[in-house]
């Protein structure tokens, strides 16, 4: 997708016109996975990639049977993911 459309271009009105928007759903207890994904985006996609880090995960159905995903992501986990993205050069990382 990156090769086809390139980095996300936003016009002067803040409207996305063309390009790749990556959405990553941060999961509870999976901070290292998020870091690995963000490193992959930086190294294999583009340092200028627009990454929307989402914290909307909600445990549902049988999630309570799996301790690691039986809760929502904490504000601390979310903040750490966003700060990490920026610290590795993904300056277009956005929240929610």
Tokens of 8: 């996300």
Backbone φ, ψ for residue 9 (5° rounding): -110, 125
Tokens of 35: 């870091």
pLDDT tens by residue, the chain, 96 residues = 999 999 999 999 989 999 999 999 999 999 999 999 999 999 999 999 999 999 999 999 999 999 989 999 999 999 999 999 999 999 888 765
Tokens of 96: 């929610």
pTM, whole model, 2 decimals?
Answer: 0.87
**89 in helix, strand or coil?**
coil
Closest C-alpha to 42, from 8, 85, 95, 94: 85
DSSP conformational letter for 64: G
């Amino acid at each position: 997708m990156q090769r086809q459309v390139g980095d996300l271009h936003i016009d002067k009105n803040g409207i996305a016109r063309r390009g790749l928007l990556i959405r990553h759903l941060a999961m509870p207890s999976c901070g290292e996975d998020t870091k690995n994904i963000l490193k992959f985006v930086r190294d294999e996609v583009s340092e200028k990639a627009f990454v929307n880090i989402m914290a909307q995960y909600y445990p549902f159905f049988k999630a309570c049977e799996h301790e690691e995903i039986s809760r929502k992501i904490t504000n601390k986990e979310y903040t750490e993911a966003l700060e990490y993205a920026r610290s590795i050069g993904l300056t277009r990382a956005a929240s929610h």
